Amino acid sequence: MNRLAGVTSPYLLQHADNPVDWWPWSPEAFEEARRRDVPVLLSVGYSSCHWCHVMAHESFEDEATAAYMNEHFVSVKVDREERPDVDAVYMEAVQAATGQGGWPMTVFLTADAEPFYFGTYFPPESRHGMPSFRQVLEGVTAAWTGRRDEVGEVAGRIVRDLSERSLAHGGEGSPGEAELAQALLGLTREYDEKRGGFGGAPKFPPSMALEFLLRHHARTGADGALQMAADTCEAMARGGIYDQLGGGFARYSVDRDWVVPHFEKMLYDNALLCRVYAHLWRSTGSELARRVALETADFMVRELRTPEGGFASALDADSEDAAGRHVEGAYYVWTPAQLREVLGEEDAAFAAAYFGVTEEGTFEEGSSVLQLPGEPGEPGESGETGESGEPGRSGGPDAPRAAGVRERLLAAREARPRPGRDDKIVAAWNGLAIAALAEAGAYFDRPDLVERATEAADLLVRVHMGPVARLVRTSKDGRAGEHAGVLEDYGDVAEGFLALAAVTGEGAWLEFAGFLLDIVLQHFRGEGGQLYDTADDAEQLIRRPQDPTDSATPAGWTAAAGALLSYAAHTGSEPHRTAAEEALGVVKALGPRAPRFIGWGLAVAEALLDGPREVAVAGPVGGELHRTALLGRAPGAVVAAGESGGAEFPLLADRPSADGAPTAYVCRHFVCEAPTTDPEALARALGGAV
């Protein structure tokens, strides 16, 4: 029986034709394990996971291995992007037991869903001290049949340990100047001065820490914070982690120099980085930042937008190479011979020097990942620079030639077999994309990007939100998935709606954000202000997941705190502000000790210390005063624009225009400075440092 054939998850559909008799996560699967008196084999991964594909090909497509699994286990396949709650609970157990985690994740459970043995990738033959997958299966079977009491004791001990891990953080006071200064010092200590970024290999784009640094500079004027952010952004933009032809960022760099990426491209990375580069441009006027923000926005629209108006989750790392092999990076890398084939000898030599393509190669089999070589601060694109000295793509004697070469290489790459795309719509990640596209469209006079953001928001309302504003986590082909939204969905979608409200002047988006945040207050909040990743009426797992740390995306905890704070600034709602302040207690506790892992929480704390400022523009949406307000650098400032007294925006109530001219009011806690009709005066008021 093919139980995966009707699901919406592309990852599960990839396994629908395996000889393994897979079950989706469901009560029926555990009832079957109880009926047969066999353990559950839980396999967790996601569609663009390289090693998930490897293990599937080596083991799950193997008839003999599948037959053994079918006889001795009930095998359950989970898409971690659809069920982050299931993934989080068992990943916590894996990390506690082994000191590491990752995907694919392999966990053996009792029929009560209690874990007793776990790991990640297992090879088909034992190697490097790692047992083969078949050895693991046989060992678990032997333990289950011969040492059941021991299995039960292990499972019970693990569950007890997990149940004692509930966080007490929250309600302990929000972080102040001292904690944010300590966090900045901690980032400075871990900063890679030579290469940008933090720590060693593998090196991930530190999107949320960069947002904190930009906000900290805006609030305090700390030049070191801005320098770390700007240099990291330039290093990434020059490196192979950035797609020099098509725009957009890969998941991470396997080396410290940002040269060789893990080639999968995730919606969430590109949404977060698009926003960071747009904010860097807002702070510095960097032409490089402007270019990368726009190219990343265009990448999301071109490569990830679905027919329904939302944004797909990811592009695979793997695709077919010229020999028909399914390998990582084949779509993106080049050899000198391939350059000559497309460009001819003369232009190929130019392109090789321009993009750092060598005979030895920087990747596998003599191929190179395209980069923009050069030392940070020096011209890297044929000697031309933007207004503030950073390399752009315009100006300079070789710029037309470089643009032509890039266009021809991109066209040739389009003819290669493309990486697979995970077409499911994840609510949280679309919320991040909505915020990024709305702001980039407003900053750079690209109304088409604002339209794409609005269409994605419409899809979330139409498909993901029910009549009582309860979100579903995913959809595909316009059909809502079965799984309930988690805290990050509510926080990130509300963040996107609030950004869209600021840009478009449409108060309905503020109202929708309020619906979602009321659900957060009612169903995700615990005693003392702590937050949980799942609602109080969601499916009960062996423990209720709760993780305040930011990893690849803002944690649900910090995402919700940011949206609650912004909504309170818009509306004056004390319950929402109190909830935000209490939630930030975890940032006070963790920020000074682990700033890299709570960057969005620190960014929200910067907004709280700054007010955040409330900007009401009584005047036309899209006018000069409105645009000036959106470009203000004050951390987390909220903006409402439209006719004075507009019922949709509380900020506009009783704030008239002066003598019929557009007028701006800058306030904190609804206490305002003198109104102004002068864009330059408004810009000074929102410049940041006070």
Q: Which residues contact 493 (CB under 8 A, 6 or more apart)?
A: 427, 428, 430, 431, 434, 460, 464, 471, 513, 516
- Per-position b or e across 363-397, b if 16+ CB within 10 A of its CB: beeebbbbbbeeebeebbbbebbbeeebbbbeebe
Q: What three-state secondary structure class fits 567?
A: helix
Domain 178-321+420-610 architecture: Alpha/alpha barrel (1.50)
pLDDT for position 388: 36
Provide mean pLDDT across the span 471-479.
94
357 vs 429: CA distance, rounded Å: 34
Q: Residue 225: phi, psi to the nearest 5? A: -65, -45
Q: Which residues contact 617 (CB under 8 A, 6 or more apart)?
A: 623, 625, 626, 629, 639, 640, 641, 642, 662, 663, 664, 665
> Exposed, middle or buried, 142 (CB in 10 Å: 0-12/13-18/19+)?
exposed
pLDDT (tens digit, 9 = 90+) per residue, 150-209?
Answer: 888 888 888 887 776 655 555 568 899 999 999 999 999 999 999 999 998 999 999 999
Q: Which residues contact 136 (CB under 8 A, 6 or more apart)?
A: 106, 117, 119, 122
pLDDT for position 394: 46
pLDDT (tens digit, 9 = 90+) per residue, 311-326?
Answer: 999 999 888 887 888 8
pLDDT for position 381: 40
Percent of the chain surpassing pLDDT 90: 74
Q: Residue 41: phi, psi to the nearest 5? A: -100, 110
Whose tokens are 């020099």? That residue is: 244
Bridge partners for 531 per DSSP:
525
Please determine, for residue 435, whether its predicted confidence score (pLDDT) is greater than 60.
Answer: yes
Percent of the chain surpassing pLDDT 70: 94
Please determine, for residue 382, whether its predicted confidence score (pLDDT) is greater than 50.
Answer: no
248 vs 301: CA distance, rounded Å: 11
499 vs 516: CA distance, rounded Å: 15
| Predicted TM-score (pTM) above 0.95 | no
Domain ranges (residues) in the chain? 10-163, 178-321+420-610, 332-414, 614-685
pLDDT for position 390: 39
HSE (CB half, 13 Å, CA atoms) of 14?
Answer: 24
CA neighbor of 452 nearest in space, from 310, 313, 314: 310
* 1 — pLDDT class (breaks 50, 70, 90): low
3-state helix, strand, coil in the chain (%, to 5): 50, 15, 40
pLDDT (tens digit, 9 = 90+) per residue, 626-643?
Answer: 999 999 999 999 999 998
596 vs 208: CA distance, rounded Å: 8
Q: What three-state secondary structure class fits 105?
A: strand
Q: What three-state secondary structure class fits 274?
A: helix
586 vs 609: CA distance, rounded Å: 16
pLDDT for position 384: 38
Average pLDDT, rounded, for the chain: 91
* 391 — pLDDT class (breaks 50, 70, 90): very low
pLDDT for position 324: 81
pLDDT for position 148: 85
* 487 — pLDDT class (breaks 50, 70, 90): very high
> Where are any strands of DSSP class E within 466-625?
474-476, 479-480, 614-618
- The helix (run of H) or strand (run of E) holding residue 579 is helix 574-583
HSE (CB half, 13 Å, CA atoms) of 633?
Answer: 27
Provide mean pLDDT across the span 219-230.
97
Please determine, for residue 7, whether its predicted confidence score (pLDDT) is greater than 70.
Answer: yes
Residue 48: alpha-carbon gap to chain centroid: 14
Instruction: Tell me if 326 sits within 8 A of 320, measured CB to CB.
Output: yes
Provide mean pLDDT across the span 612-636.
96
No. of helices (H) and no. of strands (E), the chain: 25, 18
**Alpha helix positions (H), 285-344:** 287-299, 336-343
pLDDT for position 387: 38
pLDDT for position 128: 75
pLDDT (tens digit, 9 = 90+) per residue, 642-662?
Answer: 986 666 899 998 888 888 899
Whose tokens are 């037959």? That residue is: 67
581 vs 147: CA distance, rounded Å: 50
Do the first three CATH levels of 10-163 and 178-321+420-610 match, i.e. the same topology? no
Provide mean pLDDT across the span 552-569.
97
Which amino acid, one-letter code, is at 406? R
* 374 — pLDDT class (breaks 50, 70, 90): low
Please determine, for residue 140, whether its predicted confidence score (pLDDT) is greater than 80.
Answer: yes
Of 100-109, 512-521, 556-565, the range with the lowest mean pLDDT is: 100-109
Give the gyration radius of the chain's Cα atoms: 26
pLDDT for position 383: 37
* 689 — pLDDT class (breaks 50, 70, 90): very low
pLDDT for position 396: 58
CATH superfamily name and code, 10-163: Glutaredoxin (3.40.30.10)
Please determine, for residue 523, whether its predicted confidence score (pLDDT) is greater than 60.
Answer: yes
400 vs 407: CA distance, rounded Å: 11
pLDDT for position 170: 54
